[in-house]
Amino acid sequence: MTAPAGGGAATGSTMPREERSIPQWRALLEARWQTRLRELTELALAYHTADAERGAQGRAQQDTQTLLRRAVGARRKLADVEEALGRLTAGVFGRCEQCGSAIPAGLLAIGPEARYCPRCDDGTARAEPVPERTGR
């Protein structure tokens, strides 16, 4: 499978001035897309294997539910990257979806999937969810 196609160039008037160029952002997002796809594939395979073996090996249902939750989270991360690639192609990457202001380059550097500026982000629109703690 290949990364989503993109080729539309964004105009300078709608893009905030970041430290990276549009092709650099595209390359970064496509690399993240590939990483997220690999992660999702591995989790989905682990889930299906664990679910099939659960009865035979006495594997706890909680283990398979944990794998399922992780797979769902990985799918959301993949979708976030796909949406960011779409915004890049549409020429609105780096703009807040709520108010239209520029998202600071530092925030985009941390999470290029960011959809909101700090003023509009109420804490629920994180580019990268906080990882779940497992075990001790």
How far apart are the C-alpha atoms of 33 and 36, rounded to whole Å? 5
The amino acid occupying position 68 is L
- Residue 87 pLDDT > 50: yes
Most confident of 16-20, 47-51, 68-72, 123-127: 68-72
Residue 121 has pLDDT above 80, yes or no: yes
Which token pair is 75? 């799918």
DSSP-derived secondary structure for 18-34: -SS-HHHHHHHHHHHHH
* Residue tagged 């006495």 (tokens): 58
pLDDT at 39 (0 to 100): 97
Task: Locate 22 and state its tokens.
Answer: 């549009």
Summarised one tens digit per residue, pLDDT across range 2-15 is 444 444 433 343 44
Q: What percent of the chain has pLDDT over 70?
A: 71
Residue where the block lists tokens 């941390």: 110
Residue 94 has pLDDT above 50, yes or no: yes
Of 75, 98, 105, which is closest to residue 15 (Cα–Cα)? 105
Q: What is the pTM of this model?
A: 0.69
Nearest C-alpha neighbor of 76 from the set 115, 26, 24: 115
What is the distance in angstroms between the CA of the first residue and the CA of the last residue of the chain? Answer: 37
* Paired tokens of 63: 């283990």
Contact between 113 and 30 (Cβ < 8 Å): no
